[in-house]
Structure 1
Amino acid sequence: MGVNSGASVLVRQAGELIERAPGGIKLVDAVELLVAWGRANSVWPLVYATSCCAIEMMSTIAARHDLARFGYEVMRASVRQADMIILAGTINEKMAKNLVTLYEQMPAPKYIIAMGSCAISGGPFYYDSYAVVKGGDRLVPVDVYIPGCPPRPEALIQGILQLQEKIKKEGRRNPWKVRETLKVPFEDIFSKAQAEWAAREKQRDEELREAREQFKRENAASPASKPVRVKKEEFPVVPRRKPATQGISNWTLLQMIQEKFPAVEVYGHPGIIPKQVAELGSDYILDLVVPPEQYRAFAEYLKNEQSLGLDMLIQLTCVDWKESFDIVVQLLSCRDGHKLFFRSKAAKQPETGNAEMESISDLYLGAEWHEREVYDFFGVRFRNNQDMRRIFLENDFPGYPLRKDYDDPTRVVKRPY
């Protein structure tokens, strides 16, 4: 466990006094070695895990690998009783401040292990991600890196052994100190590695050009071998089982709806009549286009019309078409089992690119969170929603990250391929 700064100063002063006595240096070195050995074998990790690497960390603690053999099994729930954090998994922007707070509240000396590709560099979220931190060492100083996605328990044990060696070397001559975090700006590491590989291949071709030319001259008469094509194996066609129809058919739904709202059309099939909808098959889920001015009234009709029974909201989301948004709603009839999509266009404001749409959160209570999510990521504000604020991102997050025009080089590295 870590000790406070006052006790550390007292121990250092006592060591300096003992060193002046005959043989004092050897005594202090022996005590320091014993203390370092004890500290290295009694590190208490914080209970902290964010993603799939946590499963490997739990497996390391379990009986098969038995992390208790190394003195690391005492997982603490309070930072005041811990002196190490294992960053096991993805670190997103919203938890970044909390992680820094935990590290600052932890008594010194304290250590960090970055476990897995996500904790080291953002992993698969390095490109095109607005929400994932590109490595834990940009927030807190990391002592040991364990690559992998995810690394096995043996790799975590190896990383712990490396940390033990680091702790054993600390003392009066090599005191522990708070190090700086990584300040290197983001870069396109894939393109950089690709360019280095191409340069290396070009240099290799230059070195082997003479040998290749000589081989061609000596073996000019030998015919080139052709690979034998393997015959493609043919499998019998498995007949598809026709799914059982549930609830009201698509063409009946369309007929009932168009009697009340004649302007409603089928998405992707303008002008189609109800009988032609039946030809799309039973797998097709009816997808309707509703005029924006009828969006609220249409949702109210679907909810209150007992013959339709569309009483459950499955999803409310948004699609950015650059010039406008589509608000897409999916409903389900719990009584009969049929489903329905409907969408309405929300025009973008020329100045801000934002849009507005009437709220249906009073009709379907689950729509409140869905509408907040659409506002958080797309900037579409829903009128009469009683809690129109961000739900996933911080309040000071710049812009709306799922829009086509979103670009923030301080957070997002564009994928080069």
Structure 2
Amino acid sequence: MKVAVFNIGKILSGDLAAPVATGDTIVLDDGKIVSVGTGDAGDSDIAIDASGMMVMPGLIDSHVHITFGDYTPRQKTVGFLESYIHGGVTTCISASEVHVPGRPRDPAGVKALAIAARKSFDTYRPGGMRVHAGSVILEPGLTDADFAEMQAQGVWLAKAGFGNFATPYDYAPYVALARKHGMVSMMHTGGSSIPGSTGIWADHVIKGGVDVSYHVNGGPIAMPDADFPRLVNESKVAMQVCTAGNLRTTLLVAKLLAEAGENERLLIATDTPTGSGIMPLGMLYTMSHLVSLGGVAPEIAVAMATGNNARVYRLNSGIIAPGRDADLVLVDACLGGSQSDALSALRNGDIMGVGAVVTNGVPRFVGRSRNTPETTRKARVAHCKIPQSFTADH
């Protein structure tokens, strides 16, 4: 199915090195971006008139506590992932299935849990969302053979922080095994968040050798301020800030990384659903906080929520460029606000309004999001050659 999005006001690429792309038209085909430039809808099967709205890559929430299906037992809520689509989130990455009731803690159990979660989302896309599930919870006793088996079954995420270890330093050899088998490793950072977890500080993260310091701003309790410069200066770990954390330390992390010239290490996520609840607009809120309070340029904040996550997690989405996955979001200033466009809204501390979402090259809705205020400009389906309506009402 060929889809064209035209009459775009500005293309926010998600690429930190070149955050604004030239052009007013994006063409998608067979789930990939075909071209980014100027023109019209041409011979597309579906043409979406952006009406001057901006387009950005679909947001990538790299810290979501998925269980099985579109359900969270922590908040007893059905349909939260599909609801996140209406907040512009097109990809969710598991922060481990730690909230599965009665989750296993033995090596065979955590291995089985990760494999089952991974496979259960292979073809299941709630609301059209891409879900990367199956993050193995590192526990004592896991062997090289266990990691090899998980790798063979498609597991590529590993989580340190909830295992039955005497000290967080003991995660290091298991993180090394995960890396040997091609896995991206993450470590809980900050105070204890649930029974069975422990406080983890900068020295643990540095010596653990992980790829990502999870909710470095606190999940929800942050580590001491003196630890943040250590992570920035003594490691190259990606530093993930989450909506369900400490806002002051979010701004501190952004300041330290900007001063070090390493904005590529800052990842935006939510750390939900947890005790903080369901946050369909969490990514948008954190972006607005970083821009309006932290001095981050709005197009850079977009990259921190898209392309930065894609790079660290080795995804083909997150950047608007030919050959990339066709996950797009049309955004604008919210109707009734004081600002005239999406980037100005972020500078003002507002969230952006979502006017359309496309995932895997398929429009999921065109029109008003049910979770953000209405957009100032109105996206519309200019023509459609297939027997399906993509308006928000349907």
* TM-score normalised by length of structure 1: 0.24
- More helix as a share of residues: 1
In terms of Rg, which structure is larger?
Answer: 1
